[in-house]
Amino acid sequence: MSGIDTRVLAGRYRLLNPLAEGGTGTVWLAADETLGRDVAVKEIRLPPDLGPVQRQEIYVAALREANLAARLKHPSIVTVHDVIIEQDRPWLVMERLSGATLEQTVRERRPLPVHQAARVGVGILSALAAAHSAGLLHRDVNPGNVFLTRAGRAILTDFGLAVVDGEATSGRTGHLVGTPNYVAPERLRGERGSPASDLWSLGATLYFAIEGLPPHPAATSIAVINRVLTEPARPPERAGALGPLLMLMLDPLPEARPSFDTVSRVLGEVATGHPATAPAPAPAFVPAPHRPQPAPALRGVVQPRGAALWAAVEVGVVAVVIGATMGVVHLSADPAPVEKPVTFSEKPGAFTTPVDMCKLLPVADVRQLLPALTSEGEPTSTGGCQWVISGMGLEMSPSGLNKQWGKSPRQAHELFVNERNNVIPNGQVAWSWSDIDAGIRSARSTGPLPVKPAGSEAFGYDFYENRKTGRLEQSHVVFRVDNLVVDVAYTVVDGSKDGPAVQAGAHTAAVWVANALNKQKAGG
């Protein structure tokens, strides 16, 4: 147990007593003395023998958990209120939940009745739909991460293993990849996984809720993994009308699992006491396109679609680019204006293969923004490029990663709109960029801002330091050229430029990049 007894974080969150102990830290009951409410605060506890690099990785993972969960506004996803950087490490401030996890409920009491398990499934499936439509995979759906509140809600928690669709993960080390009993076989084989993998994990979780044991019970983790990879699931004995659906969800082949529409329909029928229609095996796991919706109603069509994915508004994408997490914790969810219908080409765009971003800008141009720059741009693992000096940096990323190469301008426009709609005013940002000597810092984001033309369409957003100077430190311009969407960020943390200069620098770089892409598109 942590040695902390009483502490006030950020001048407002007073730790009261521990609620739970986990592998990476302690969850505390805390009082938010500013708003007069109880919250849960997750303290990240680090082993004493960790080196600086390993500590930074854990800090980044904790920030990712907050950023990913906080940008998803859904009644079945735990609400993250704040991220506190205290003593150079993060603390996650979340809504306080009253109840118990599904795992605790089943082990300490009894398995759930079938109709109650179906209601849990409806809520968690809806939460996964919201995550997938935002381009996120949870990757660790299991009974310990499903919380049953006293009010009857099923809440999906712990996005610490979640991954943004398209985000490189090869550099992430020292972290578990999920709970073996609830990890889909394709992920155990080393594949990255898909929405169908989360569906398998949900099936295994509901199986446990009804049967009281996982679908591949075994004495050790190695034995579990072997059984998941080589044997079918144990036929359920108590599942009744849900039995056929669970077995389809647990099919070892992702393409043989049912669609989210089918799972939604059957779970809803069982939850409301109506006779369940027997699900038929789907010929392929290819749901129809889905756009993010603010309402919690279950839409059922959730598999992300290439370039139409929201590419994380500088959350997971830039996490890899700059070697640290940068993410927006949404503190409000006001709906963005509805986009007017516009006709865009459905044909594949001009950029059918990855563009070498570093070759778009010569050093002489970039030196106008980074006067001390002496080297070429450095390619990043996400297909972007960065130019860095102490205290200042320029970075650009193709939003949506390599998923968008060869897609149509219409799909790129959808990606652009999704990114703009998900930039929420007054979001809190926790980020760092070691290459420019910027340690972990706390900031506030603006909402989407109008900018002068860059590419075919563009918007901006800015990061202001949160607790010291209030200075604008980072400005972004997101723009589209044909089927390619690019996010350009200009960062100045040494105080050498004021806000308008930082904004002007980001826009200047965006125009340079857009002009270079248009020239490449024209074959020049």
Axis crossing angle, helix 260-271 with helix 114-133, rounded to the nearest 10:
150
Residues 515 and 481 in one domain: yes
486/452 Cα distance (integer angstroms) = 16
Report residue 427's pLDDT band, with 50, 70 and 90 as the boundaries.
Answer: low
Which of 58, 86, 114 is at the close of a domain? 86
Work out whether the CA dihedral 503, 505, 507, 513 comes out positive or negative. negative
Q: What is the pLDDT of residues 396-420, one digit of tens each?
A: 988 764 456 667 888 888 888 877 8
**Number of folded domains that form the chain:** 3
Q: Is the pLDDT of residue 428 over 60?
A: yes
Between 85 and 97, the more confident residue is 97
Write out the two tokens for 457.
């369409």
Task: Fill in the amino acid letter for 124.
Answer: I
The predicted model gives 508-514 an average pLDDT of 96
138/353 Cα distance (integer angstroms) = 29
Contact 204, 214 (CB under 8 A): yes
Residues 246 and 341 in one domain: no
Write out the two tokens for 510.
């965006």
Report residue 281's pLDDT band, with 50, 70 and 90 as the boundaries.
Answer: low
Write out the two tokens for 468.
């010291």
Q: Is the pLDDT of residue 395 over 90?
A: yes
324/431 Cα distance (integer angstroms) = 7
Note the pLDDT of residue 511. Answer: 96
The predicted model gives 347-374 an average pLDDT of 92
**Beta-carbon count within 10 A of 265 CB:** 18
Task: Provide the CATH number for the domain around residue 67.
Answer: 3.30.200.20
- Of the listed ranges 103-112, 211-220, 254-263, 348-357, the one predicted with least confidence: 348-357
Q: Which of the residue ranges 110-119, 287-296, 298-307 has the most confident prediction, judged by mean pLDDT?
A: 110-119
Establish if 92 belongs to a structural domain: no
CA torsion angle 4 8 10 11 (round to 10): -170
**Average pLDDT for the chain:** 78
3-state SS of 352-397 is CCCCCHHHCCCHHHHCCCCCCCCCCCEECCCCCEEEEECCEEEEEE
179/295 Cα distance (integer angstroms) = 30
What is the domain range of residue 277? 99-304
Q: Which of 32, 82, 140, 165 is catalytic?
A: 140
181/11 Cα distance (integer angstroms) = 42
Establish if 293 belongs to a structural domain: yes
Residues 324 and 442 in one domain: yes
Note the pLDDT of residue 161. Answer: 58
CA 326 from chain centre, in angstroms, equals 11
Establish if 2 belongs to a structural domain: no
Report residue 3's pLDDT band, with 50, 70 and 90 as the boundaries.
Answer: very low
Note the pLDDT of residue 348. Answer: 85
Between 141 and 353, the more confident residue is 141
The predicted model gives 11-28 an average pLDDT of 81
Establish if 408 belongs to a structural domain: yes
Establish if 265 belongs to a structural domain: yes
Residues 264 and 412 in one domain: no
The percentage of the chain sitting over the pLDDT mark of 70, rounded to a whole number, equals 76
Report residue 336's pLDDT band, with 50, 70 and 90 as the boundaries.
Answer: very low
Q: Which residues contact 323 (CB under 8 A, 6 or more apart)?
A: 433, 434, 435
Note the pLDDT of residue 445. Answer: 83
464/474 Cα distance (integer angstroms) = 7
Residues 165 and 126 in one domain: yes
Between 440 and 162, the more confident residue is 440
Residues 40 and 134 in one domain: no
98/193 Cα distance (integer angstroms) = 32
Let me know how many helices (H) and strands (E) the chain has, helices first. 12, 20
Residues 17 and 68 in one domain: yes
- Of the listed ranges 23-27, 369-373, 433-437, 499-503, the one predicted with least confidence: 23-27
Report residue 256's pLDDT band, with 50, 70 and 90 as the boundaries.
Answer: very high
Report residue 160's pLDDT band, with 50, 70 and 90 as the boundaries.
Answer: low
CA 298 from chain centre, in angstroms, equals 20
Contact 57, 37 (CB under 8 A): no
The predicted model gives 446-451 an average pLDDT of 87
Note the pLDDT of residue 286. Answer: 36
Report residue 59's pLDDT band, with 50, 70 and 90 as the boundaries.
Answer: confident
Establish if 344 belongs to a structural domain: yes
Establish if 93 belongs to a structural domain: no
Note the pLDDT of residue 522. Answer: 87
Report residue 7's pLDDT band, with 50, 70 and 90 as the boundaries.
Answer: confident
Which of 250, 269, 304 is at the close of a domain? 304
Q: Is the pLDDT of residue 157 over 90?
A: no
Note the pLDDT of residue 514. Answer: 95
Residues 438 and 300 in one domain: no
Q: Is the pLDDT of residue 459 over 90?
A: yes
Q: Respond yes or no: is residue 140 known to be catalytic.
A: yes
Q: Which of the residue ranges 130-134, 197-201, 281-285 has the most confident prediction, judged by mean pLDDT?
A: 197-201
Note the pLDDT of residue 442. Answer: 79
Q: What is the pLDDT of residues 174-227, one digit of tens each?
A: 344 457 899 999 999 888 889 999 999 999 999 999 999 999 999 888 899 999
Residues 458 and 355 in one domain: yes
Task: Provide the CATH number for the domain around residue 193.
Answer: 1.10.510.10
Note the pLDDT of residue 26. Answer: 81
Residues 366 and 427 in one domain: yes
Note the pLDDT of residue 231. Answer: 93
Note the pLDDT of residue 22. Answer: 61
The predicted model gives 63-73 an average pLDDT of 72
Q: What is the pLDDT of residues 245-254, one digit of tens each?
A: 999 999 999 9
Residues 351 and 494 in one domain: yes
Write out the two tokens for 396.
């650009």
Residues 426 and 502 in one domain: yes
Q: Is the pLDDT of residue 21 over 60?
A: yes
pTM above 0.85, yes or no: no
The predicted model gives 374-393 an average pLDDT of 90
Establish if 149 belongs to a structural domain: yes
Task: Provide the CATH number for the domain around residue 382.
Answer: 3.40.1000
The predicted model gives 57-66 an average pLDDT of 70
